[in-house]
């Protein structure tokens, strides 16, 4: 094997991407499919799933709410039927949650953010681990956290709390599953260009009483590189984490954020 071969995941991996019909999840799903993996994607949006499957051959899909145990169990029925096993779980499901000072937030907003961002990670890992233990293809879990999982994030406390918790879950699972040969890492993206980030910026601008343009500029100035992350930046790291060259990477929270200094 050459050093270049070590940077590319082996063909034929069986990969599940949660909330993978759009945004970062879709970018990761497309990247794995292009690299020769067998990819199954679940998402709450059936129309987005149809668009993804139409544009990228070889991807199978399930409609599911990642925070609902019954839906998750049905996804794994589909995974067994379509993939016949599992080598990689990309735990990507997440929502932005509410924007505002803590005293203005409703308990239901907090609970929904934690349910989607954190509980989904538990539910999918719980079902995936028995399959990953059976894999002979350097099995791994990639947990999608955020730069908000290492920094405080004023006015976005439910989101930040859930993303910090994902890092704790990842580090604990890395210790728990390491003896079985299962690696577990987290990716912590910075602000990712796209529709979701546009919505976050608009909500923050409204909360602060300033223009969208000024708020967007403040996000750019938070990063040493003065630019937002692209979906492909995150997808490239996900591929590498499943490549032979990453065989001793586990328990790591890896930021892709242009050196984001603060939020």
List the chain domain ranges.
5-190+231-256, 193-228
Does residue 33 sit in helix, strand or coil?
Answer: helix
Cα gap 231→244, rounded to integer Å: 23
Pick among 3.30.300.180, 3.90.1150.10, 3.10.20.30, 3.40.50.720: CATH of 5-190+231-256: 3.40.50.720
Residue 59 makes CB contacts below 8 A (sequence gap 6+) with: 29, 30, 33, 39, 40, 41, 52, 53
5 burial via Cβ count (<10 Å: 0-12, 13-18, 19+)? exposed
Question: Beta strand pairing status for 38-43 and 183-189?
Answer: unpaired
Catalytic machinery residues: 159, 163
Torsion of CA 130, 135, 138, 144, to 10 degrees: -40
Crossing angle between the packed helical segments 120-134 and 157-177, to the nearest 10 degrees: 20
Residues of the chain with pLDDT under 50: none
Q: What is the pLDDT of residue 218?
A: 83
pLDDT score at 213: 85
| Strand locations in 58-150 (E) | 59-63, 88-91, 140-144
Residue in the block written with tokens 């790291």:
237
CA-to-CA separations, 245 to 138, 205, 256, in angstroms, rounded: 11, 42, 18
Q: Full-prediction pTM beyond 0.85?
A: yes
- Give the pLDDT score at 54: 93
> How many CB atoms neighbour CB 229 within 10 A?
23
Cβ atoms of 41 and 52 closer than 8 Å: yes
């Amino acid at each position: 094997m050459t050093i270049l071969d070590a940077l590319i995941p082996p063909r034929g991996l069986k990969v599940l991407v949660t909330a993978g019909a759009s945004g970062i999840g879709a970018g990761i799903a497309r990247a794995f499919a292009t690299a020769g993996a067998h990819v199954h994607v679940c998402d709450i949006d059936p129309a987005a799933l149809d668009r993804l499957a139409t544009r990228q051959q070889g991807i199978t899909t399930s409609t599911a709410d990642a925070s609902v145990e019954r839906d998750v169990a049905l996804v794994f029925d589909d995974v067994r039927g379509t993939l016949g096993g599992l080598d990689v779980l990309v735990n990507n499901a997440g929502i932005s949650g509410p924007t505002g000072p803590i005293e203005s937030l409703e308990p239901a907003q907090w609970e929904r953010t934690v349910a989607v961002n954190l509980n989904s990670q538990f539910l999918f890992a719980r079902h995936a681990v028995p399959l990953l233990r059976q894999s002979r293809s350097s099995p791994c879990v990639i947990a999608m956290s955020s730069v908000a999982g290492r920094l405080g994030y004023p006015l976005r406390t439910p989101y930040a709390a859930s993303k910090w918790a994902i890092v704790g879950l990842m580090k604990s699972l890395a210790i728990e599953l390491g003896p079985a040969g299962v690696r577990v890492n987290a990716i912590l993206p910075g602000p990712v260009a796209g529709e979701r980030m546009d919505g976050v910026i608009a909500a923050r601008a409204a909360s602060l009483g300033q223009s969208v343009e000024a708020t967007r500029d403040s996000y750019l100035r938070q990063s040493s590189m003065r630019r937002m992350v692209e979906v492909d930046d995150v997808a490239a790291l996900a591929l590498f984490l499943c490549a032979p060259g990453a065989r001793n990477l586990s328990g790591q929270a890896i930021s892709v954020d242009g050196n984001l200094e603060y939020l």
